[in-house]
Structure formats: C-alpha cells, structure tokens
Amino acid sequence: MNIHDLVRELREPAKSKIVLLVADGLGGLALEPGGKTELETAATPNLDAAARAGVTGLSVPVLPGITPGSGPGHLGLFGYDPLEYRIGRGILEALGINFNVGNRDVAIRGNFCTLASDGKISDRRAGRPTNEANKAAVEKLRTISIPGVELFVEPVKEHRFVLVIRGDGLGDRVNDTDPQVVGVTPLTAKGRDAASEKTAGVVNKFVAEATKVLAAQAPVNGVTLRGFATFPKIDSFEGVYGLKAAAIAVYPMYKGLARLVGMDILDPGVTLQGQIDTLKSVWDKYDFFFLHYKYTDSTGEDGNFPAKVQMIEKLDEVVPQIRALKPDVFIVTGDHSTPSKMKSHSWHPVPTLLVAENARPDGVTTFGEEACLRGGLGQFQAMHLMLLAMAHAGRLGKYGA
C-alpha cells in the first residue's frame, strides 16, 4: 500500500502543531580516530535537553550508502520516497533561483557559449562572463517570443541561466543540445514523444533566435540547453497530511523544494533570528513549520570543522525560543550529513530528535551521532519521519480494527 494513501485514510483532525527544524548537512565525522564529530564537539545544552526530553535516532536519507542531494534529502523528510519522486535538473535549477515554476512548465538549464563564425562552439562557457554580462545577455534573450508558449529567461550566474517554457502539452524527453565538447555545433533538440517534439520545436526556434539577438554580444553569442524537466507530479503536502504548512527558509533552493509540495513560502529575511521571529508571528496560522538552517551544510562543504561547530552552537541558542512556543511535536534533523572532513554531502545517517508528550524516552542524554545510535527511533528511513511526526501529534488514527 502506498504510504500517502495510508496517511490519507488514517489521518485525523487535530489542533496540534509540528515544527521540523532541518539543520542542513547536520551529521558529521570526527577528524581523528577516537575523536568527536562536529555535533558532538559543539556545546549544545538546549539540543541535549531536547534529546533528554524526547526520543532520538538516526535518519537514513535514501538507502544505506546513498548520498543525497538537497532535493532527495528534503523530499524524504517531507515524507516522499526520494527514489520514487525524482526532480529534474531544470526544475531544481529553477527552484534554486526562486522561480515560481508550475505544472505547465518545462524548465531547462541554459549555458551561454561562444560560437565561432562557422557556428561551432569555441568555448562552452562563453569565457565565464561576469554576472553583469550574463544579465545583459539574458535581457537580449527576453526579447524572443514564440507563438503558443510563454518564455521566461532568468540569470543564474556566470554562463548559466534558466529557460522556462510555459504552455500546454509540453514534454521533457528532449536531448541536451550541449554537445559537451568544443569544435562542433550545438545539437538539434529532438523529442522522444509527441509532447516532447512540441518542446523540441520551441527550443530549436529559441536557439535560432538566440543566435540572432546575441550576435553582437560575442563572446556571449550562443546558447546550449540541458536538463529538460517538467514539474513533477507530486501529491501536495497538505493533501497528504492535512497540515497547513509554512516554509521558513532563507535560501531559494529550500523555499523551492517546499513550494514543490505546496507549502506556503514565508519571507523571514536572511537571519536565523528573522526565521524565529517569523515562526512566532505566524504561529497561530499554520499546523506545520519547516525551518531550514543552511550553515551546518555550507561550513561542512567548506571543510571548516570549527565553523560548523560554531554554526551548530548558534542554532542551539534559538532552540529555547522554539520550544517556548510549545509545539506538540518538535523535530530536529538534517537532510543528510555533510562531514567537514569530506567537504561534501555524505551517506552517513543523520542525528534526529523528536520531542512530544508521548515520545518514549530512550535514556539518551546528549544530541550526537554516537548517542543517537542508542536512540529509541533506531535507524529509520527519512521518508518515515512524517509518520512519526503525525502519530506524536495525535493526527493518525488506528489502522484496522
């Protein structure tokens, strides 16, 4: 049985509130044998208190050994099987720049390139233009119009932009036009079904027009397109869980992932305290709050162990403000591990705690990787966390009589 169908069948109305605090890339590794991880090193009196009050465990984002990107990592936490729901590269790129992509759209990653006089690519990244040159070229592309569809062109940075084609009956089974090598012309787009043929037709016209409008912009005088992706067919979060949900995130990618499942996207500004203030200000309006904290991941990606420790401590400081709101369920976890030792996302299970009236405590007294190994949630699949959240929130009835 599909888990979402099960939830729809069992869910019960309640007034309870759930806070899901995602510390991106929370899990880590010790730098030396016998050492402590970033989370174990950090002074986290408030997270430790929460671990004592509740139940802990380790979240496996996808499967043992599988390192997720942000997309699969968050889909899992939102209760969607990350192996079933795949988000295309173009859609992720559009989400990442906060473009409000929808279900009539095909989103595409664009690269500016340099075309020689014979039409062959001489530089696949157009000499890595400045962001200003990128914006100027994007303005030129915005002058293109093609009957029957709406076009949106958005700058990303350097040579990268996003193209969104909005219309009816557009498919995404279209080959990349980027040949991945220089000295050849960009590839012609072809669709692998009728709907994708329609997209390919639009794309080929767009590319031809782009070459004209960019003619005077050399070395930014051509485009290649890849990662064609339609908006994924995905159940809305509220439709599945019956939870009115707010996303309180600073970075566009995470706002975008929350938008993907239909959460309301709030604008908390750029600080953690701004996020907490936003949480307080909308507390009465929602059932579910997704708070996203980026800096545990970015410091891990930088390989900066002490900075990651510091960012964890900074997060710990705001925990009392969240708990003071008395959420019925308070969860702290991560979408994946980002050990500063590895300077990258990793497959390691993610420390997780859940505080609720009927959580069964497990004797774990600190929040850390090794401590959570003895936690009452065990090692669980991330996609099951929402079931635990719903149950502890008194929102899931009995299955069967």
Least CB distance from residue 193 to its own copies, whole Å?
Answer: 21
Stretch that binds its own copies, among 28-36, 197-205, 302-310, 311-319 (CB under 8 A): 28-36
For residue 71, state whether it binds its own copies (rule: CB under 8 A).
Answer: yes
With CB under 8 A as the rule, give the number of residues binding its own copies: 69
Site track for its own copies across 286-325, x = CB under 8 A: ----------------------------------------
As a residue count, the chain comes to 401
Place of tokens 């119009």: 145
Cis ω for the linkage preceding 129 (within 30 of 0): no
Q: How far apart are CA 349 and CA 374, in angstroms?
A: 13
Q: How far apart are CA 22 and CA 249, in angstroms?
A: 10
Least CB distance from residue 387 to its own copies, whole Å?
Answer: 3
Q: Which of 21, 29, 108, 163 binds its own copies (CB under 8 A)?
A: 29
Is residue 366 a contact partner of residue 372, using CB atoms and an 8 Å limit? no
Q: Which of 4, 8, 14, 53 binds its own copies (CB under 8 A)?
A: 53
Stretch that binds its own copies, among 55-63, 126-134, 157-165, 293-301 (CB under 8 A): 55-63
For residue 68, state whether it binds its own copies (rule: CB under 8 A).
Answer: yes
Q: Is 163 left (phi over 0), alpha (psi -120 to 50) or beta?
A: beta
For residue 58, state whether it binds its own copies (rule: CB under 8 A).
Answer: yes
Pick 77 or 133: Cβ nearer its own copies: 77
Closest-CA residue to 233 (of 371, 91, 341): 91
Close Cβ partners of 62 (under 8 Å, ≥ 6 residues apart)? 68, 72, 76, 82, 83, 382
Pick 181 or 399: Cβ nearer its own copies: 399
Q: Which of 13, 15, 33, 233 binds its own copies (CB under 8 A)?
A: 33
Residues of span 342-401 touching its own copies by CB under 8 A? 342, 344-349, 358, 360-363, 369-370, 373-380, 384-392, 396-401
For residue 34, state whether it binds its own copies (rule: CB under 8 A).
Answer: yes
Stretch that binds its own copies, among 29-37, 116-124, 130-138, 175-183 (CB under 8 A): 29-37
Closest-CA residue to 352 (of 318, 388, 325, 322): 388
**CA separation, residue 260 to residues 48, 91, 133, 179 (Å):** 33, 10, 31, 30
For residue 393, the tally of other CB atoms under 10 A from its CB is: 24
For residue 87, state whether it binds its own copies (rule: CB under 8 A).
Answer: yes
Least CB distance from residue 31 to its own copies, whole Å?
Answer: 11
Is residue 212 a contact partner of residue 203, using CB atoms and an 8 Å limit? no
Is residue 312 a contact partner of residue 44, using CB atoms and an 8 Å limit? yes
Residues of span 95-134 touching its own copies by CB under 8 A? none
**CA separation, residue 253 to residues 94, 257, 300, 381 (Å):** 9, 6, 18, 23
Q: Which of 63, 182, 184, 208 binds its own copies (CB under 8 A)?
A: 63
Is residue 123 a contact partner of residue 219, using CB atoms and an 8 Å limit? yes
**Contacts to its own copies by CB under 8 A:** 1, 3, 6, 10, 29-30, 33-34, 37, 53, 58, 62-73, 82-84, 86-87, 89, 92, 339, 341-342, 344-349, 358, 360-363, 369-370, 373-380, 384-392, 396-401
